[in-house]
Chains A and B, each alone.
With several copies, the nearest count.
Chain A
Amino acid sequence: ESCGHIRISVPIVRLGDPVTASCIISPNCSKLDQEPQILWRLQDGPEQPGDRQRRLHDGSQESTITLPHVNHTKAFLSCLVPWANSFQVLDQAELQAGYPPASPSNLSCLMYLTTNSLVCQWEPGPETYLPTNFTLKSFRSRADCKYQKDSITDCVPKDRQNTCSIARKHLILYQNMVVWVQAENVLGTSESPKLCLDPMDVVKLEPPVLQVLDMNPELVPRQPGCLWLSWKPWKPGEFIAQECELRYQPQFGGANWTLVSHLPSSEDQFKLCGLHQAPVYTLQIRCIRSPLPGLWSSWSPSLQLRPT
């Protein structure tokens, strides 16, 4: 027969909220003297009597204590009785405190053509100090994202990352879907704002590989301050109609970039002239899905070239 038993109003509370606990010592706890003074100990703090101790009708003793503000995110509350010149711990309860989750924010998604998956990431919001589960939820929709057609299986992030990857088989490309993040812990639930997107409109495009051509002077007369370039679209994105942008600047001296826009995504021979300000120029190229909506690729690794 166990001598003492703790009951707690709510084992998990908001940080700073009060909590009330009671410890009941059964009468037939042989080893104890009749009406022992019940004491409490929070973590390894000092032993303190409860707010009130009374004898219940069945002869057992009950002590009640209220901790006005729980400020440990995790603490152990013990119920003790004096024993010889020490104490005996009769029961122990675990107290937890934290916050309900704030709404996850900055939800954004990218479609990766190499892994064929839609990867979304978000900011979880302030620390809750409690086990909090994040789930990426989504459903398929028609053009306007108003009506839910059929829901997609929840995406549960791996070991507490704030990112989740929806596999290709759950996606209908070229159709809109609604995506959002739900955060949940014992104190509450919250949701991020909803995103309405077609995975193909958020493809993570990689830039082409920019190459310089070594033109045969007999065939192509040398022109000072010019460069012959060629580029091919990034292979996995080849089927996407794209438009590209070239930028160049003298290698040193920090002059601004000069931009050449509306270039095709594939070019076998492109002549770039007017490069008279410096012996060596830095060049980069990037592309975007066009005319359909899309995201700019990053700039290609810069190329240092010496015009003719």
Chain B
Amino acid sequence: PLPWPQSFLLKSLEQVRKIQTRNSELLEQLCATYKLCHPEELVLLGHSLGILQAPLSRCSIQALQPTKCLSQLHSGLFLYQGLLQALAGISPEVAPTLDMLQLDVANFATTIWQQMETLGVAPTVQPTQSTLPTFTSAFQRRAGGVLTVSHLQTFLETAHCALNHLV
């Protein structure tokens, strides 16, 4: 397949780093403010809330398929954008960081979508958001935030490796 344009790869890598920085900031805030510092302690709750990890198998270095990786990247970002939106109202202390993170993820999704359009592999219709978790308590929303952001962090590490591999 055609190599991806350098500026797209460099911009994407910069966006990944921008989001990762914001992610760690948010995780630190959630830990400091709500003492929710171990995502692994929230796995059970994650299942019951339906907060799953977005697949990125086509971006793993061992089985890298650039075009399919792109669409997995976009679908994952689109899912996380929705999950972050569902967390709105989490708390005044955390809301500003969460708003910025959600905008950065949405903008990165636009960058990916535009590249898919340029390569002619973009589906004709923009994806629609699948059903998002509903949070019945402040705790669930905060725990959902920790889970979503830590999943997003793992997701971005894989994306970073793939993009770096293609630069």
Contact = CB atoms under 8 A, between A and B. Distances in A.
Whether the complex brings A and B within 8 Å at their CB atoms is answered: yes
A172 B103 CA distance: 8
B15 A174 contact: yes
Given A91-B137, A172-B107, A239 B41 contact: no
B10 A292 contact: yes
Given A31-B47, A83-B44, A174 B139 contact: no
Q: Which interface residue of B13, B35, B138 has the most chain A CB atoms within 10 A?
A: B35
Contact of B36 (A83, A89, A241): A89
Q: Which interface residue of A44, A89, A142 has the most chain B CB atoms within 10 A?
A: A89
| Top 9 A-B pairs, shortest CB-CB distance | A239-B17, A88-B44, A92-B139, A239-B18, A173-B107, A76-B35, A89-B41, A174-B111, A174-B11
Contacts of A173: 15, 103-104, 107
B142 to A, nearest CB: 7
Contacts, number: 96
B38 interface: yes
B64 interface: no
Interface residues of B, number: 42
Nearest to B135: A2
Contacts of A292: 7, 10-11, 14
B140 interface: yes
A89 B136 CA distance: 16
Interface residues of A, number: 36
A93 B139 contact: yes
Interface of B: 6-7, 10-11, 13-15, 17-18, 20-21, 34-38, 40-45, 47-49, 99-100, 103-104, 106-108, 110-111, 114, 136-140, 142-143
**Secondary structure call for the B interface:** helix
24 contacts: A2-B45, A2-B140, A3-B45, A43-B35, A44-B35, A76-B34, A86-B40, A88-B45, A89-B143, A90-B45, A91-B137, A92-B34, A92-B139, A168-B100, A169-B99, A172-B106, A172-B110, A175-B110, A175-B114, A239-B14, A240-B14, A291-B10, A292-B11, A292-B14
Nearest to B7: A292
A87 B21 contact: no
A51 interface: no
A78 interface: yes
Interface of A: 1-3, 31-32, 43-44, 76, 78, 80, 83, 86-94, 116, 142, 168-169, 171-175, 200, 238-241, 291-292
Contacts of A94: 138
A172 B40 CA distance: 34
Nearest to A92: B139
Nearest to A292: B10
Given A3-B48, A87-B41, A91-B139, A238 B7 contact: no
Contact of A3 (B14, B37, B44, B108): B44
Contacts of A200: 11, 14
Contacts of A89: 36, 41-42, 45, 143
Contacts of A175: 107, 110-111, 114
Contacts of A43: 35
